[in-house]
């Protein structure tokens, strides 16, 4: 579904992605892990087109997005959904307006949009009474759910989650992970989750690790605790940086 070849991105003198290669298969549920500051979110935003890479290829559905015009890119990105780390809800809009924003801005009748929004809200485990609430009235977990409901409005084939459980309590973390897994299965989507939370290994199919601008490991989530890659070993056990352990 997604192939990344020799991707490079720098901000001033700071190298973020440094010849990065990654392949994400159709219908995979991939967790991308790595220490803070490694550029995981920047990688995701390059894939979705929010940040333009300096060089390299991002191939989605056999099309190199770097060679597409604006209209062609729009068609590609209609297949994609992006769930922001802090939901990115507009404070001045209520939940109905936030979730239905794309259709409403295209001039659709709000009365026709409302049942579609309600369907997505219920899909993420919320009830109709939340539609008239504003973001300031929602808990952190509810905001994450509303952000996902907004993404689901266009039934994306590819869904990308940027740190979806940041700042949440352990119970809500589990509920959000279960919701992501359910969404993945219901849509038969290709799902990519950027996370520091090792609980995601219970739900993901594949794990990739980003380190110093490159993907240094990709393997099945089921066997991640048996992985002998020294960087993965230290990361998933929460060990301090230091000399890398080798066998």
pLDDT, tens digit (0-9, with 9 covering 90-100), for 107-151? 899 999 999 999 999 988 889 999 999 999 999 889 988 998 998
pTM of the entire predicted model = 0.86
Looking at the predicted structure, is the pLDDT value of residue 243 above 50?
A: no
The per-residue pLDDT for range 210-227, each reduced to its tens digit, is: 999 999 999 999 999 998
Residue of 230 and 245 predicted with greater confidence: 230
Q: Say how far apart CA 119 and CA 110 lie, in whole Å.
A: 14
Q: How confident is the model at residue 246 (pLDDT cuts 50, 70, 90)?
A: very low
- Written as six digits, the tokens of 43 are 């990688």
The CATH superfamily label for domain 27-54+78-236 reads P-loop containing nucleotide triphosphate hydrolases (3.40.50.300)
146-205 residue pLDDT tens: 998 998 888 899 999 998 888 888 888 888 898 899 999 999 999 999 988 888 999 999
Domain ranges of the chain: 27-54+78-236
Tokens of 199: 């609980």
């Amino acid at each position: 579904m997604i192939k990344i070849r020799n991707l490079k991105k720098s901000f001033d003198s700071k190298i973020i992605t440094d010849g990065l290669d990654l392949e994400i298969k159709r219908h995979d549920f991939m967790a991308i892990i790595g220490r803070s500051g490694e550029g995981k979110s920047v990688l995701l935003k390059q894939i979705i087109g929010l940040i333009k890479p300096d060089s390299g290829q991002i191939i989605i559905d056999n099309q190199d997005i770097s060679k597409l015009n604006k209209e062609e890119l729009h068609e590609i990105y209609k297949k994609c959904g992006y769930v922001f780390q802090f939901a990115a809800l507009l404070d001045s809009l209520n939940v109905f307006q936030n979730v239905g924003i794309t259709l409403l801005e295209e001039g659709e009748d709000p009365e026709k949009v409302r049942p579609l929004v309600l369907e997505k809200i219920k899909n993420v485990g919320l009830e109709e009474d939340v539609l008239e609430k504003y973001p300031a009235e929602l808990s952190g977990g509810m905001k994450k759910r509303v952000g996902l409901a907004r993404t689901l409005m266009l039934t994306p084939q590819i869904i990308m989650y940027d740190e979806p459980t940041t700042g949440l309590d352990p119970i809500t973390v589990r509920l959000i992970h279960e919701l992501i897994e359910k969404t993945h299965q219901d849509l038969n989507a290709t799902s990519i989750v950027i996370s520091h939370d090792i609980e995601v290994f219970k739900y993901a199919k594949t794990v990739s690790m980003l380190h110093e601008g490159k993907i240094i490991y990709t393997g099945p989530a089921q066997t991640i605790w048996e992985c002998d890659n020294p960087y993965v070993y230290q990361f998933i056990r929460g060990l301090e940086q230091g000399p890398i352990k080798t066998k």
